[in-house]
Amino acid sequence: MLTSSELIDLVKDYDPNANEDLLRKAYLFSMETHGVQSRTSGAPYFQHPLEVARILTELKFDTQTIAAGLLHDVLEDTNVSFEELEEIFGARIAFLVEGVTKLSKINCSLFDVRQVKNFQKFILTILQDIRVLIVKLVDRLHNMRTLGHIPSKEKRNSIARETLEIYAPLAGRIGMNIIKDEMEDLAFSNLHPEEHSNIFSKLNRIHMENNNFVQSTILELKRIFKEAGVNADISGREKRAWSIWRKMQKSDISFERINDVMAFRIIVDTKQQCYISLGLIHTNFQIIPGRFKDYISVPKLNGYRSLHTTVVGLIGQGIEIQIRTKEMHREANEGIAAHWSYKSNEIIPQKDESGKYKWIRNLIAIHDNSETLQDVMNYSKLEMFNDEVFCFTPNGDLIALPRGATIIDFAYGIHTSVGSTCIGAKINSEIVPLQTVLRNGDLVEIITSPHSHPDGAWEKFVVTGKAKLYIRKFIRTQEKKEFSALGLQLVKYVFSSTDVQFSEDLLDLKKFSCDSVDKFYYNVGKGIIFLRGIQTIIPRPRNSGAVVYKSSVCLEEFIPGIAVHFSECCRPILGDKIIGVLVPQKGIVVHVVNCDSIEKNYSSVVKMKWRKEEEIDSEFVVKLNIVVLNLTESFERVTNIISSNEAKIINIKMENRSTDFFDLIMDIQVKGISHLESIQASLRYCSNVKSVRKL
Ligand code: MN
């Protein structure tokens, strides 16, 4: 087992000023408190936290993190209390240890909506200090390495599954691919041992058979690079079993048909040399089109940078080549850890030029703005688990978005105010609808209008947490405004049916448990306070009985009771999609939803729906234009059809009489849209009728 001095030496290798006393104290404290406890393997328990601390030194973490690694299980597995830990090691280390302990207790599946609370706890804990997550990841990595010692297969599988679903993606999210890759392969070999060993042995065979090929490819690459005078570190390897298996699953193909199981890596000194190297490779090997990716100019969301290309190798099969600098290589393996400064105790690394920790900040912003647990869950999940797509503004600024993102997501990605006032957009200079799904490389130009505002319908197609959140927020405030305005109109309306002049002073707010007039109007508008209730506070009503309101429509989520008129322009009938427009001094005028005469004035539009058919005794008059054959029997047949359908004919006109046809313009009275439709259907069935249309 590693001694405390050996551990300290490992830390001092990269941090000569490391706090030795702290490390030694943590080492001894953990060893003593875990005492004679042992792991399922029979090894002393202390070996586990010690190994976690050692792995953390490989990633060059600060002493607080190493200490937390040593102590990460004492709260859970020994009698040590938080207060004790705080007294001996200070508040921050105690916090880290407590955080790791909390994470371990949260048994959450991110894909289970019922686990909202757990997920929120999880995110909250990570957000307070990202190092909690790092210690937890390394803890889980070591547990995965020693998973074979757990006797119960069920337990092994559940740990492996959780690792695959939660911890590996999280490690990937903070760019710690080296941990992610190992976790995935360990989980894979546990969950699918047969497939794993199958692929593994095939890889081995390829390795044996192709060793010459790998070596000669490396030699050839080295020759090319030497000739060009580019200093490069070149290596070759087979791809990982898990990534091959995933590819087999995804494309539903056999191992034999995956033709690029070999990958080569070229590590150079500078970014310029990356592109020079790419040129060298493309001049000397034939490229396989469509496989080239430039993650240097457009890094992945987790900060990954590299050039990827696939070319035809020496013996005719595809080989993948990755080109990157040493710095990029370290970042690709260690992610967040590559930027960690062991000198400071930053919670999120300050050095974030490429914006790769933006997702952590996004998570924090979402958390601050969310109203419900469900929000946090939904939005954070979206932020963390969607694949990404990259698009550009006309200025060349890059906006990275989750796959499936639309124009509106893009607009919100630029700035909240751009999203909120977006009225149109162009993709690659062509005007497109707002719900258009973006593709990689799209150049997106957003058109805004200062007086515009979000549309509730956007909520249905946006995918980013940010866009969803702001649209929802807008809808909520807008709804509040609308209901208040409606409430005010309703109150005035009630007053107008009496002799009493409307005045806010007459409103007895206390009686309705409202602390402000706005609240009162909102409650009236929303239907929480009934109109009949308002009447009771108005002194001396003009007529003794209550005002009776009767109508075939009602406001959505609202009690019946307001003057309703049907518009003359579009003449809605039962079954039409309808909307109400508040007209001062008149009440609500009902229109068909897409009626051209409705001005898009949101503050005066209210949602309306029809009452149930059986509750309605009114009839609606519609005007029909029926084109019929110019035969004497046509008129009789049409009128027969209408009356046999139990509709009343109010008015008839004949127009456009020609040699073959004439038009019948009829006003008929129907019960609703389904009644009308069955009449229209019967008419169309008649051989004398050429067409029927509602005017
Ligand atoms: Mn542990």
pLDDT of residue 597: 73
Q: Of 35-44, 336-345, 487-496, which gets the smallest average pLDDT?
A: 336-345
- 427 contacts: CB under 8 Å, gap ≥ 6: 407, 436, 438, 442, 443, 444, 445
pLDDT band at 109 (very low <50, low <70, confident <90, very high): very low
pLDDT of residue 558: 44
Ligand 1 centroid distance, CA of 387 (Å): 31
What are 278-316's pLDDT values in tens digits? 999 999 999 888 788 899 988 776 678 899 998 888 777
What are 199-209's pLDDT values in tens digits? 888 877 777 77
Higher-confidence residue of 381 and 225: namely 225
Quote the mean pLDDT of the chain: 79
Ligand 1 centroid distance, CA of 103 (Å): 11
Q: What average pLDDT score do residues 675-681 get?
A: 88
What is the architecture of the domain spanning 4-191?
A: Orthogonal Bundle (1.10)
Q: What is the DSSP letter of 464?
A: S
pLDDT of residue 111: 41
pLDDT of residue 167: 83
Tokens of 539: 């002194």
pLDDT band at 71 (very low <50, low <70, confident <90, very high): very high
pLDDT of residue 11: 93
Ligand 1 centroid distance, CA of 112 (Å): 25
pLDDT of residue 70: 97
What are 373-398's pLDDT values in tens digits? 445 445 444 444 445 676 778 776 66
The sign of the CA dihedral 179, 185, 188, 189 is: negative
What are 626-636's pLDDT values in tens digits? 998 888 778 88
- Ranked by mean pLDDT, which of 122-126, 131-135, 288-292, 524-528 comes out on top? 131-135
Ligand 1 centroid distance, CA of 190 (Å): 19
Q: Are 645 and 673 in contact (CB under 8 A)?
A: no
Point out which residues pair with 591 in neighbouring strands: 579
The residues of the chain that CATH labels 3.30.460.10 are 197-338
pLDDT band at 616 (very low <50, low <70, confident <90, very high): low
3-state secondary structure 421-456: CEEEEEECCEEECCCCECCCCCEEEEEECCCCCCCH
Ligand 1 centroid distance, CA of 72 (Å): 6
- 285: nearest Cα among 255, 253, 262: 262
Q: Which CATH class is domain 197-338?
A: alpha beta
pLDDT band at 120 (very low <50, low <70, confident <90, very high): low
The residues of the chain that CATH labels 1.10.3210.10 are 4-191
- 282 contacts: CB under 8 Å, gap ≥ 6: 309, 311
DSSP H or E segment with residue 283 = helix 271-284
CATH superfamily of 620-694: ACT domain (3.30.70.260)
Query: Which amino acid, 534?
Result: I
The residues of the chain that CATH labels 3.30.70.260 are 620-694
pLDDT of residue 613: 63
Ligand 1 centroid distance, CA of 48 (Å): 7
The number of helices, as runs of H, and strands, as runs of E, in the chain is: 25, 19
pLDDT band at 612 (very low <50, low <70, confident <90, very high): low
Whole-angstrom distance, CA of residue 356 vs CA of residue 368: 20
Ligand 1 centroid distance, CA of 137 (Å): 10
pLDDT of residue 233: 93
Ligand 1 centroid distance, CA of 140 (Å): 7
Q: What is the DSSP letter of 406?
A: B
What are 536-577's pLDDT values in tens digits? 666 554 443 333 334 556 555 444 445 567 777 777 877 788
Higher-confidence residue of 336 and 452: namely 452
Q: Are 620 and 670 in contact (CB under 8 A)?
A: yes
pLDDT of residue 127: 65
Question: In the predicted model, is pLDDT for residue 141 greater than 50?
Answer: yes
Residues with catalytic roles? 76-77
Higher-confidence residue of 20 and 213: namely 20
pLDDT of residue 240: 79
What are 146-196's pLDDT values in tens digits? 999 999 999 999 899 888 877 887 787 777 888 999 999 999 999 998 888
Ligand 1 centroid distance, CA of 100 (Å): 9
Q: Of 92-101, 360-369, 463-472, which gets the smallest average pLDDT?
A: 360-369
pLDDT of residue 547: 35
C-alpha distances in Å from residue 390, one per residue of 215, 298, 400, 408, 437? 37, 8, 5, 14, 12
C-alpha distances in Å from residue 242, one per residue of 322, 451, 675? 19, 52, 62
Point out which residues pair with 666 in neighbouring strands: 624, 652
What are 646-667's pLDDT values in tens digits? 888 777 777 777 778 888 888 8
Q: Are 319 and 262 in contact (CB under 8 A)?
A: yes
Higher-confidence residue of 272 and 620: namely 272
599: left (phi over 0), alpha (psi -120 to 50) or beta: beta
Question: How many alpha carbons lie under 13 Å from residue 663 in its C-beta half-sphere?
Answer: 11
pLDDT band at 236 (very low <50, low <70, confident <90, very high): confident
pLDDT band at 443 (very low <50, low <70, confident <90, very high): confident
